[in-house]
Amino acid sequence: MHLELGIAGLGLSVIGAILLALADAWFSRSVLMHLDALEANLSKVIEVLQGGGSEFVNTGVDLKRDRGQNRARSLKNLGWTILVLGLLTQVGALWLFFASQHP
């Protein structure tokens, strides 16, 4: 029983680590896109101010980009959860192994 539980915990840890790595890459790309958009919006504001304008510059919100960041954050949280679940499963397998060795 403890061997199967340990292998299952190892599998969960590997799946969680892969999911976490992919989600982290996605989130990093999303943050870089956000910084590029921020830079573009700031350049619009600077152009208006340098032109002597004082009106409010509405640059808008990119909802698609924001939703993508939220999905990437959620996927990272799921990856961490699976990774921790795998670790706890492995700890449980070790506990069962040592409990069966010393009755």
- State the helix-helix crossing angle for 63-101 and 2-50, rounded to 10 degrees: 160
Amino acid in the structure at residue 48: V
Stretch 67-81: mean pLDDT, rounded?
91
Q: What is the pLDDT of residues 49-58, one digit of tens each?
A: 888 877 777 7
Tokens of 86: 């795998």
Stretch 53-76: mean pLDDT, rounded?
82
Place of tokens 């504001």: 45
What's the pLDDT at 85?
A: 95
Contact (CB, 8 A) for 75 and 18 = no
**Confidence label for 92 from pLDDT (cuts 50, 70 and 90):** very high
| CA gap 46, 78 in Å, rounded | 40
| CA gap 53, 99 in Å, rounded | 76
How distant is the alpha carbon of residue 58 from its chain centre? 30
